[in-house]
Structure 1
Amino acid sequence: MKTSEILTFLKAEAFLLSAIPMVAIAASFFFEIGYLGFYGVPPNVIEVDLYTVIISCMCLVFLLYVVVEIFYTVINFARKSNKHLTAFCISLIPSLMVLLFAGLYRVSQLLWLALAFFVIFYLYVLDLIKQKGSVEVEAKKDESLILVDKFKGFLFVAILMAGLSLGVGYNVALEKVSYFVVGDDKVLVEIYGDNVVLAYFKASDSGGILTGEIEVVKLSEYTLKGEQQNLGKVRSVKDEERRANVEKVSKL
C-alpha cells in the first residue's frame, strides 16, 4: 500500500481507529469466553486487565493493517482487469471471511455458506459494474460516507472481532496440551485477579477427560501445589459421549 493510500485510509476511517480500544476490550472478553467455555466455566469470573487490552490493541492494529493491505491489493488488481475478474476478486473477500470462521469453529457446513456468499457477491458486483460503469465510481461514492455509515462499519468490525476472538479462544483451549496439575484430578485453567479457576479431569491413555466440574477459589486463601505436565489434548465428557455414539453407529 502506498503512503498516500495509508493517509487517505487514516482520514476516512478515523472513527473506526479511535474505537480500537473499545473493540479490543470486547475482543479480549470474548476470547476469554471462548477459552473458558471449553472447560464449562461461566463468564462471570472473567476479568480483563490492562495488559490484555494492550496486547489486543496491538493485534487489532496488525490485523487491520493486513486486512486493509489485502483489500487494497485486490481492489487495485480488480481495477486493471475486466468486469468478470473484478467481480471474482471482490467476491473472494466475504467468502474468505466465512472460511475463516469455518476453520475456527470447525463447522464444515459453513463451506456451503462461503460458496453461496461468493456467488451472491459475484452477481451483485457484476450488477453494480453494469449500473455504475466501473468500480471507481462506487469507490468515490463510498468516500463520502456519513456518520451513520461509520457507526455501521464500527458495529460490523466489533461483531466480526467478537466472533473471531470467541473462536480463537476456544481453539487455544482445544489445542492446549501442557497444564499445571493440582493434585491428581484438577488442572489450572486461569487466574483472574484473586480468583483461581480449576477444572476437574480424569486421566486416560489418550489424554485427560474433563468431568465438567469446576472450582473457583481465592488465591489469597488457597495454596497452589502441583507441577506442569503434558497431558495431551484434554476432552470434555460430552465429546467422549459423542465419539462413543459415533463409534456405535459406525459398527452397526
Structure 2
Amino acid sequence: MQTSKTFTIHFWLSMAKAKDDFAPIYARITVDGKRAEISLKRSTSVTYWDTRSKRSTLRTSDGKALNVYLDQVYSDLLACHKQLLGESKYVTAQAIKARYLGEDEQHKTLLQLVSYHNKNMVSVLKPGTLKNYFTTERYIKRYLKHKLKTNDVFLKQLSYKFIIDFEQFLRNGKSINRSQPLKNNGVMKHLERLKKMMNLALRLEWIEKDPFVRFSLKFTKHQRAFLSQSELEVLESSQLSKGMHQKTRDVFVFACYTGLSYIDVKLLC
C-alpha cells in the first residue's frame, strides 16, 4: 500500500479577496510538498479569525456553525485520503481534492458515461448505429427526469432494480418516434446499448459491479419474409409512373444483388 511522506490540511483566508473585513475561506491540502486548494464558498470576519487554530473566534451562532462546518470539511478530507490509501491509489493533493469534490472515477455519473461513450465512438461506429445510441440517451434522460425525478445518477447507484425499472419504463412509456409503446425487441435494443456502455464503465474501472449481471436480454425471433427470384424480376421489370418510385425501386434492387445494408446504400447515394 502506498503511503505519503507528509499530508496536511489547513484553512486560510484569501486576503486578496477580502472586502469590508470579510474574506473567503479556502482549504489547502498538501501532500509531499505539493498543494491543492478548495474554495469552501464561505466567508468570515478577518478580525475574528484565529490564524493559529484556523477557526473563527466569534461566539455567535454563526461563528459556532462555521467552526462545525470546518470540522466536517477537515474530517471529510481525512476520509478521502484514507479511502485513496485503502484503494491503493496514488495519493496526491489533487487526487484528494477530486475525491472530495466528486470529480474522480468514483463519482462518475450515468450521463457522463453515455457522453464519454458517444464522443469516443464517433470514429468507430457507423452513423446509423451511433444515431441509435443518441436515441437510447434520450430515453435514459426521460427516465431519470420523469421516474426518478433527477437529472443524473452516480454509476455506483445503478443496480439490478434500476435496470428492470428502466425496462418497464420503456415498455409502458410513450415512444419517442411513434405514438405506440416500444415493442419487445425495441426495448431489448435500448437495454443492449446500455449494457454495452456499462461494460465500458467496468473496463474504465468507473464501477466495480455490473448491474446487468443477473439480467438477460430476451429478443423475440421473427421469420422474415423474402422475395423469390421471380418476384424480384417482376419488380425489376415493372413500369413505375413516378421518378421517385423508380429511384427507390432501383436502389432496393441494387441492395438485393449486392447485399449492402440500408445505411451503406444511403451513404453511396
TM-score bucket of the superposed structures, by smaller chain: under 0.3
- RCO higher in structure (CA 8 A, sep ≥6): 1
TM-score for the superposition, normalised by structure 1: 0.22
Structure with the higher fraction of residues in helix conformation: 1
Task: Give the alignment's TM-score, normalised by structure 2.
Answer: 0.21
